[in-house]
Amino acid sequence: MKYKKRNYLLTLALSILIKFGLIRGKKKIEIFSKILIIDLNLPGISSAIFSEKYREIDHTNIFSEKLSNKKQILDLGANIGYYMLLEATESAKESNIICIEPDPRNITLLKENIKINNLDQKVIVIEAVVSGKDGQVPVNIRNASNLNKINDNFEKDENTILIQSMTLNAILKNHGKFDCLRMDVEGAESEILSKNSDNFLDSMPLGSLIFMEIHPNQYIGGDSAMIEALDKLRKYGFNNYEVVTSGKKPDSKILNNLGKSDINYIDGKFNRFHYRDVPFEEIKNFALYTPKIIRYIIAEKK
């Protein structure tokens, strides 16, 4: 495992200091051979990164292994740039990255992290969301800046703002083809892949990767939209699938179906298993299952 978290006692000590306000404000972290600026006053991922150094240790290590030959990367829900820095470090030398992020709080840090690492020629930031339509969509801006969500029921409140939206097909038209798509979009993955995505998915070359966190019970358009999204991936040549379990008790359903995996990641109280070559019908079952039993679906076009 290339990237490892801090030891438990140091992580715990730093977490306590942050919780009681003894460490605050902006900090610079050395990560992925680069510098990540975080803000401990901003609820979200900064505190986890400061105390643990590497967050989502399963996602970080698996994704890093798959980036080596990727040249055109699209990062949806880029947040403050944690995965952007991983992409810049582990992808092909000549790679280009487009980060799409709606939250002004995150965008400020994201741009600072691009600048401090001299990545201005490699990384483009688009202040928007990606959904199933072009135009504007209501987005609920949460207190925690990593939990913002498209407000698909259109019930506006003081935390909901209209943000420019684009589709995958529009991104293809304006920015060309991609061979890597990473997304953590709080349930919008169903709509993003099921609507106005055909040209984008079809254009992705052999060897392309889609790495997405899933959110059962939160899918825009419901379960049927997520099934349509997965069927569309299959239609356009994504026929190799992997999953990482949630690390919770309901994972026993996966153990019953696939057996015990030899690849696992310890992340705090969670023991997560990584499965390769998962049958497509199992992917569809796992993606809808509640309580959540898998965190990520990894799809490759082979």
**DSSP result, 214-254:** --TT--TTHHHHHHHHHHHHHHTTEEEEEEEE-SSGGGHHH
Per-residue model confidence (pLDDT) at position 154: 57
173 lies in a domain? yes
Lay out the sheet containing 270-275: strands in order across: 123-127, 96-101, 72-76, 180-183, 209-213, 294-301, 238-245, 270-275, 263-267
260 lies in a domain? yes
1 lies in a domain? no
Amino acid symbol at 19:
K
Count of helix runs (H) and strand runs (E) in the chain: 11, 15
Nearby residues of 86 by Cβ (< 8 Å), 6 or more positions away: 32, 60, 63, 64, 67
What domain count does the chain have? 1
Per-residue model confidence (pLDDT) at position 299: 98
Per-residue model confidence (pLDDT) at position 158: 74
131 lies in a domain? yes
Residues of the domain holding 137: 8-301
Query: Which helix (H) or strand (E) element contains residue 87?
Result: helix 82-90
Tell me which residue of 243, 236, 245 sits closest to 279, measured CA to CA.
243
- Both tokens of 159, joined, read 């935390």
C-beta neighbour count of 17 within 10 angstroms: 15
Per-residue model confidence (pLDDT) at position 252: 85
> CA 5 to CA 79: how far, in whole Å?
20
- Output the domain CATH number for residue 84: 3.40.50.150
pTM for the model stands at: 0.95
122 lies in a domain? yes
Per-residue model confidence (pLDDT) at position 42: 94
pLDDT per residue rounded down to tens, the chain (302 residues): 899 999 989 999 999 999 999 999 999 999 999 999 999 999 999 999 999 999 999 999 999 999 999 999 999 999 999 999 999 999 999 999 999 999 999 999 999 999 999 999 999 999 999 999 999 998 988 899 898 888 876 566 778 889 999 999 999 999 999 999 999 999 999 999 999 999 999 999 999 999 999 999 999 999 999 999 999 999 999 999 999 999 988 788 888 889 889 999 988 888 999 999 999 999 999 999 999 999 999 999 99
3 lies in a domain? no
> CA 55 to CA 59: how far, in whole Å?
8
